Amino acid sequence: MTGNVLRIESPGLMSTIQDLGRFGYQRFGISTSGASDRDALRLGNLLLGNDVGDAAVEITFGGFAAVFTGATAFAISGADLSPTLNETPIAVGTVYIGGPDDRLAMSAPVSGFRSYLHLPGGVACNKVLGSASTYQPAHIGGIDGRALQAGDELAASQPLSAARAGATLDFPAASPDQTPQPVRVVLGPQDDHFTAD
């Protein structure tokens, strides 16, 4: 594990540490958790040379900002949340090098809803039941089983490797259909938590 390389300034709507999830514990009431977009997580990890299931920061909808505290490679996969590095637009699906005091931000979605920030070897954190995924109801995974907060510091599991800088991967473009679509609902055990509206 390396030293801390990233300090969260703003987690946005919700940012958590997620990997592919924990399996085999549902009978004990433990959710699999894991990335909402597992394909994006896998592709981003491949781009950076990580194992496909390594942990990343899952960023929901935007409003995210972080400052690099040490030099490291990074990549973003999944949704296009208008990422910038030092206020200069950067691309989803490209490996960049962040240096000390460089500021990474994601403001608002252009397409998609969840983006993944990948660090070399994945985000370093303790695994619980074989996974680093944050599962908030049980307070496990990630950082103390909670969403990221301003001031949290993250480390990469491996040191900086500039060898992959500039590598790209052409992610499929998400072009959501703007036509209103029906939403089908199957009532579950928490249906009493929702009003008729």
| Band of residue 135 on the pLDDT scale cut at 50, 70, 90 | very high
- CA–CA gap between residue 116 and residue 86 (Å, rounded): 18
> Do residues 160 and 73 touch, judged by C-beta distance below 8 A?
yes
> Do residues 70 and 100 touch, judged by C-beta distance below 8 A?
yes
Give residue-wise pLDDT tens across range 5-54.
999 999 999 999 999 999 999 888 888 999 999 999 999 999 999 999 99
pLDDT at res. 163: 67
Mean pLDDT for the stretch of residues 124-152: 95
Q: What is the domain extent for residue 167?
A: 4-193
> Do residues 92 and 171 touch, judged by C-beta distance below 8 A?
yes
> Do residues 66 and 123 touch, judged by C-beta distance below 8 A?
no
pLDDT at res. 176: 55
Q: Quick one: 31 exposed, middle or buried, by C-beta within 10 A (0-12, 13-18, 19+)?
A: middle
The tally of domains found in the chain comes to 1
E strand or H helix at 180: none
Mean pLDDT over all residues of the chain?
Answer: 91
Tokens of 188: 């579950």
pTM of the model: 0.86
Query: Is the pLDDT score of 174 beyond 60?
Result: no
pLDDT at res. 117: 98
Give residue-wise pLDDT tens across range 57-79.
999 999 999 999 999 999 999 99
